Amino acid sequence: MEAESPPEILQIYRDFPRPGCEDAFRAVEEDAARVCTELRFPHAHLAIESLIGPKEVWWLNAFDSEAERQQVTRDYTDNPAVVRALEEIGRRRQDLVGTPIDVLARRRPGSSERAAWRLAGARFFVVDVTRGEPPTWGTVFEAPDGTNYILRPVRTAREAERLGGDAGGGARVFAVRPYWGMPA
């Protein structure tokens, strides 16, 4: 399987479901995915959920350029039905999650040359968030504040566990949740 080109820009929206709210969170997010499909949300996005450690759900929006990101924003705001529906979803979920983190990070090509980026068939992501010089086992996206988000999509749980162990430190395994996102 040949590697795909990683995006230039990755919007990472991190949610922190509150303990005891997991079932309600799941229901709201399944409704959100259904609404996005029915009302033709203008951009594919992927949801991933942490398997160990504190519960987190990340929403990944990949863009090949700033122009593409801006066009998606315009397409979204030009669809009032989507805007209204997602505002309602936001109201339903506000008591279910902690304070989210929303960041636009840019790919660091020199730090990502050896990492495979294969979304087709990926069921898991190995993820690390760090400052300073990032490791080279994944594709590195750097936020404006210098935080590095290192991501590596993989196909199997075994591969994720192995890579997570090889990555060491704070690397965590996330599972792809296609029923919460809008994968391509």
pLDDT in tens, 69-114: 999 999 999 999 999 999 999 999 999 999 999 999 999 877 665 5
Q: What confidence tier does 169 reach under pLDDT thresholds 50, 70, 90? A: low
Question: Based on the number of CB atoms within 10 Å of its own CB, is 154 exposed (0-12), middle (13-18) or buried (19 or more)?
Answer: buried
Of 27 and 118, more confident: 27
Q: What is the mean pLDDT of the chain?
A: 89
DSSP string across 26-91: HHHHHHHHHHHHHTT-SS-BEEEEESSSS--EEEEEEESSHHHHHHHHHHHHT-HHHHHHHHHHHH
Question: How confident is residue 1, by pLDDT bands cut at 50, 70 and 90?
Answer: very low
The pTM assigned to this predicted structure is 0.91
What average pLDDT does range 54-70 have in this prediction? 95
Confidence of residue 40 (pLDDT cuts 50, 70, 90): confident
> Which among 81, 71, 70, 142 is positioned nearest to 106, based on CA atoms?
142
Q: Region 55-75: what's the mean pLDDT?
A: 95
